[in-house]
């Protein structure tokens, strides 16, 4: 039977406690949200919603074509200019998702004969970029500049190291300065994914590379998503103008994809302008994360110290993690649940996000529910 093997896979997934299901979210959800990536609480901000609505009224529901044909509006170039300027880079290129931006950066910067050195904890979209790229990938130990240095030393020819800046599973930060130094010793480029750093780290949320003085460097390329702190949808690559020009000409997920919807571009631009005006939102997200971590550990839970806005709590098994998250939900709290294959080390976790707009009372409630429902 066609697709007969799917049933066997579904059975194996059920046996392992790894079945995933969709839960449509009502517009007026009563749940306290510690699961979304809306780090700054901007996705429903009136200015962000109006940015989307105004863009849709002006430009329509879709961008109407690929970026090189009709899909580049003046709004797209405005967003690219302001995003690059905010993060401290010469140029930016907007994509329909952060996923597409990562595929573009890795594939276009790792040609035949090149080496890609990839952190073992990287996000799936960077991993897929490595899989699609023509270069050869070497996976190295997590957050280990010496391992990167050693791998680069084995190769003669173009090379890049790729890493998340803040890892999505445990919320720990990459050793960016060490990675850049290792790359520079070998004349290699550094590509980092700042999906969880933009809006949270760096002065006023300018991102992790900005925080460590790597913004604008000629050998550093950064990818971001517009879907987390900026409360919209889409992605971008930031870097030297010559790299961005190269992507326009060589990145398949840029060339063969319809341009970002105007509403998403308008929402992201509105959020960016808001963040410029209210830079304290970034510091507040970090403060909430640290507060949440403190309260969880005081309650005896095994939480990883956060470097940005993601707080991870270890669970004993995938089944117990799923049950824990379900029990939280029944008690009015939405939390994320990470388990294999989304975790590189096989350890299941609850994943909590510390939104800048969470109050002290909400944090109290969240920690109480997580403590009371623990396996
Ligand atoms: C580290 C990281 N990179 C990239 C992405 C993909 O971004 P997008 O959702 O905009 O496709 C995500 C998650 O969504 C992420 O967590």
Rg (CA), the chain: 21
In terms of Cβ atoms closer than 10 Å to its own Cβ (0-12, 13-18, 19+), residue 118 is buried
166 sits in the region (left: phi over 0; alpha: psi -120 to 50; else beta) called beta
> Which pLDDT tens digit goes with each residue over 3-34?
999 999 999 988 887 788 898 999 999 999 99
CA 161 to chain centre: 17
Alpha carbons 248 and 54: distance in angstroms, whole number? 27
Average pLDDT over residues 82-86: 98
Average pLDDT over residues 206-234: 98
221: pLDDT strictly greater than 80: yes
Is the Cβ–Cβ distance between 25 and 327 less than 8 Å? no
pLDDT value at residue 291: 97
Alpha carbons 337 and 326: distance in angstroms, whole number? 9
Alpha carbons 164 and 155: distance in angstroms, whole number? 22
Average pLDDT over residues 264-289: 98
346: pLDDT strictly greater than 90: no
> Which pLDDT tens digit goes with each residue over 98-152?
999 999 999 999 999 999 999 999 999 999 999 999 999 999 999 999 999 999 9
pLDDT value at residue 341: 79
Tell whether ligand 1 has an atom less than 6 A from the beta carbon of residue 138.
Answer: no
Q: Name the band, by pLDDT with cuts 50, 70 and 90, for residue 57.
A: very high
pLDDT value at residue 263: 98
Residue located nearest, by CA, to atom 3 of ligand 1: 195
Tell whether ligand 1 has an atom less than 6 A from the beta carbon of residue 373.
Answer: no
Give which of 353, 289, 346 is closest to 316, Cα–Cα: 346
Domains of the chain by start residue, with CATH = 28-42+279-373 (3.90.1150.10), 46-277 (3.40.640.10)
Q: Name the band, by pLDDT with cuts 50, 70 and 90, for residue 50.
A: very high
Identify the three-state secondary structure at position 347: coil
The more confident residue out of 266 and 21 is 266
Compute, in angstroms, the gap from residue 300 CA to the centroid of ligand 1: 31
Alpha carbons 41 and 284: distance in angstroms, whole number? 11
Tell whether ligand 1 has an atom less than 6 A from the beta carbon of residue 225.
Answer: yes
pLDDT value at residue 361: 96
Tokens of residue 71, six digits: 């899909």
Compute, in angstroms, the gap from residue 372 CA to the centroid of ligand 1: 31
pLDDT value at residue 16: 80
Is the Cβ–Cβ distance between 55 and 266 less than 8 Å? yes
Q: Which residues contact 23 (CB under 8 A, 6 or more apart)?
A: none
pLDDT value at residue 137: 98
> Which pLDDT tens digit goes with each residue over 222-248?
999 999 999 999 999 999 999 999 999
* E-assigned strand segments in 38-195: 91-95, 115-119, 136-140, 159-164, 189-193
Tell whether ligand 1 has an atom less than 6 A from the beta carbon of residue 102.
Answer: yes
Tell whether ligand 1 has an atom less than 6 A from the beta carbon of residue 98.
Answer: yes
Q: Name the band, by pLDDT with cuts 50, 70 and 90, for residue 318.
A: confident
Compute, in angstroms, the gap from residue 185 CA to the centroid of ligand 1: 29
- Residue 219 phi/psi, 5-degree rounding, is -110, 15
- pTM for the model stands at 0.96
Tokens of residue 356, six digits: 């800048």
> Which pLDDT tens digit goes with each residue over 154-205?
999 999 999 999 998 899 999 999 999 999 999 999 999 999 999 999 999 9
């Amino acid at each position: 039977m066609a697709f007969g093997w799917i049933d066997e896979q579904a059975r194996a997934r059920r046996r392992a406690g790894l079945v995933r299901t969709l839960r449509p979210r009502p517009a007026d959800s009563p749940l306290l949200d510690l699961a979304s990536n809306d780090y700054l609480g901007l996705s429903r901000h009136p200015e962000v919603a109006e940015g989307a609505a105004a863009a849709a009224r002006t430009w329509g529901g879709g961008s109407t074509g690929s970026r090189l044909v009709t899909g580049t509006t003046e709004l797209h170039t405005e967003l690219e200019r302001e995003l690059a300027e905010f993060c401290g880079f010469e140029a930016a290129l907007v994509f329909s998702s952060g996923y597409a931006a990562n595929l573009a950066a890795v594939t276009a910067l790792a040609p035949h004969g090149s080496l890609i050195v990839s952190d073992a904890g990287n996000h799936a979209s960077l991993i897929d970029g490595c899989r699609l790229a023509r270069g050869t990938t070497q996976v190295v130990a997590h957050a280990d500049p010496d391992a990167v240095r050693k791998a680069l030393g084995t190769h003669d020819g173009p090379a890049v190291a790729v890493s998340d800046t803040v890892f999505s599973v445990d919320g720990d930060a990459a050793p960016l300065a060490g990675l850049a130094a290792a790359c520079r010793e070998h004349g290699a480029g550094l590509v980092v994914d700042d999906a969880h750093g933009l809006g949270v780290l760096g002065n006023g949320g300018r991102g992790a590379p900005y925080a460590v003085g790597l913004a604008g460097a000629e050998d550093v390329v950064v990818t971001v998503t517009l879907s987390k702190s900026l409360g919209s949808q889409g992605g971008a690559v930031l870097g030297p103008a010559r790299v961005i020009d190269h992507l326009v000409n060589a990145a398949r997920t840029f060339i063969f994809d319809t341009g970002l919807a105007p509403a998403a571009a308008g929402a992201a631009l509105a959020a960016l302008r808001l963040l410029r005006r209210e830079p304290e939102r970034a510091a507040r997200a970090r403060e909430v994360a640290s507060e949440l971590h403190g309260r969880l550990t005081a309650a005896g839970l095994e939480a990883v110290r956060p470097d940005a806005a993601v707080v991870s709590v270890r669970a004993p098994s995938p089944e117990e993690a799923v049950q824990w998250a379900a029990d939280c939900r029944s008690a009015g709290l939405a939390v994320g649940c990470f388990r294999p294959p989304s975790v590189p080390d096989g350890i299941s976790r609850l994943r909590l996000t510390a939104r800048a707009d969470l109050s002290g009372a909400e944090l109290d409630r969240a920690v109480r529910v997580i403590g009371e429902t623990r396996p």
